[in-house]
Amino acid sequence: MKISEGMLSKLDKIKQRYNEIGELLSRSEVIADQKQFRELGKELAGLTPIVECYDLYTSHKKQFEDCEELLAVETDPDMRDLLKEEQNGLRDTLEEDENNLKISLLPKDPNEDNNVIVEIRGGAGGEEASLFGTELMKMYYHYADANRWKVEEININMTELGGVKEAVFMITGKGAYGKLKFESGVHRVQRVPETESQGRIHTSTVTVAVLPEAEDVEIVIEEKDLKIDTYRSSGAGGQHVNKTESAIRMTHLPTGIVVECQDERSQIKNREKAMKVMKSRLYDHFQSQADKEYAEARRAQVGTGDRSERIRTYNFPQGRVTDHRIGFTLYSLDKFMLGDMNEMISALQIAVQNKLLENVEE
């Protein structure tokens, strides 16, 4: 079998820790300490898939070895044929178990299950880029709805024609970041704009940034480091215009990061939303600066992970969408724009998994 002694030793330690946590969670003093109970529960949930894979592998390995022992002493030809047939089936099963074990041991993104902040901005292409930004925003809304996730608008700044200058919104739901993290980068659209009288195909771009929502315990923001301005919210395309200064512009002085929020009529609610975005942007900022290991893991996902990188092309005349990081094309652009993104996201997840498996050290 292909499982090395080093990996088996690691798996034994994981199972030992799994059993230890199970015992700890039954203690009254741990149950009374909600923080410890929650942390242990989260650790147990992370170890459970690995232990389940390991138990399955161990069971199948035992059956395989039992067949070998019986073959060593069995003389009846029919019984030997049955044993060999069973052993061949178990050999295939063990290969699958071994692959599943390797996958279960791959490093997990600590933000996999987090909510996300999605930021969309029109790039090259003027009004056409802004209009496509609106379509991308709707695409993510559809995808969130299909996954029963909640969408909460934070700052939507539209052009007179209904295009997106800047759209910032939060998607709340388990596993949101794990699926949407692949969307960060430059999205290119090729089509004939409605405003184009001669029917020429134009190429425009939209930038998308997907940030994990930072938990309160991860980012501490000092009041003295914040400058908060209020102003009257306004916008095109039928958005409400406040007569009171309910909109918030929040500036983090040490980094210069600026967040605006004008979606709510209440200044307090806008401030709360702005703080959520600020924490996520600061989390992303500090991670990319100080934690090289984490930054490299993100770059290793697919491509470089750089937001300036062109990741995908939406070609409307040909009805296709192509992800350039993995060379994957779908010829169902209309469905894709309605949020049918699962096939593309699954292909990206598999590509990441395969890339990481190449570097697994046993």
DSSP string spanning 97-152? Answer: HHHHHHHHTSPPPTTTT--EEEEEEE-TTHHHHHHHHHHHHHHHHHHHHHTT-EEE
Work out the average pLDDT over 21-39: 90
Phi, psi of 135 (to 5 degrees): -65, -40
Residue 361 within any structural domain of the chain: no
Give the model confidence (pLDDT) of 121-154 as tens digits.
Answer: 988 888 889 999 999 999 999 999 999 999 999 8
Residue 329 within any structural domain of the chain: yes
Domain span holding position 203: 116-213+304-356
Cα gap 316→128, rounded to integer Å: 13
Higher-confidence residue: 300 or 69? 69
Q: Provide the pLDDT for residue 295.
A: 44
The answer to whether residues 156 and 242 belong to one domain is no
The answer to whether residues 242 and 134 belong to one domain is no
Q: Which residue has the tokens 């499982």?
A: 3
Helix and strand element counts for the chain (H, E) = 10, 11
Smallest CA-to-CA distance from 304 within 295, 313, 292, 312 is with: 295
Q: Provide the pLDDT for residue 285.
A: 78
Pair type for strands 185-191 and 202-212: antiparallel
The number of folded domains in the chain is 3
Cα gap 3→8, rounded to integer Å: 7
Residue 24 within any structural domain of the chain: yes
CATH (domain of 142): 3.30.70.1660
Length of the chain: 362
Q: Provide the pLDDT for residue 43.
A: 87
Higher-confidence residue: 201 or 358? 201
Q: Provide the pLDDT for residue 14.
A: 92
Q: In whole angstroms, what separates CA 147 from the centre of its chain?
A: 13
Instruction: With a cut of 50, say whether residue 162 has pLDDT above it.
Output: yes
Instruction: With a cut of 70, say whether residue 291 has pLDDT above it.
Output: no
Exposure letters 97-111 (e unless 16+ CB within 10 A, then b): bbebbbbbbeeebeb
Residues 128, 195 contacting (CB under 8 angstroms): yes
Cα gap 93→63, rounded to integer Å: 11
Q: What is the pTM of this model?
A: 0.65
Smallest CA-to-CA distance from 155 within 270, 324, 24, 237 is with: 270
Residues with Cβ within 8 Å of 4's Cβ and at least 6 positions away in sequence, in order, are 362
Cα gap 168→277, rounded to integer Å: 9
Residues with Cβ within 8 Å of 213's Cβ and at least 6 positions away in sequence, in order, are 114, 115, 116, 117, 170, 177, 276, 279, 280
The answer to whether residues 193 and 258 belong to one domain is no
Residue 268 within any structural domain of the chain: yes
Q: Provide the pLDDT for residue 283.
A: 81
The answer to whether residues 234 and 203 belong to one domain is no
Query: Picking from 74-83, 246-255, 301-310, 330-339, which range would have the lowest pLDDT averaged per residue?
Result: 301-310
Q: Provide the pLDDT for residue 197.
A: 62
Give the model confidence (pLDDT) of 194-252 as tens digits.
Answer: 766 667 888 999 999 998 887 654 677 888 888 888 887 665 444 444 556 778 888 99
Q: Provide the pLDDT for residue 10.
A: 86
The answer to whether residues 241 and 189 belong to one domain is no
Tokens of 112: 């996999």
Residue 214: CB atoms within 10 A of its CB come to 23
Work out the average pLDDT over 96-117: 83
Instruction: With a cut of 50, say whether residue 294 has pLDDT above it.
Output: no
Residue 54 within any structural domain of the chain: yes
Higher-confidence residue: 278 or 337? 337
Cα gap 196→147, rounded to integer Å: 36
Residue where a domain terminates, one of 69, 104, 139:
104
pLDDT, averaged across the chain? 84
The answer to whether residues 197 and 320 belong to one domain is yes
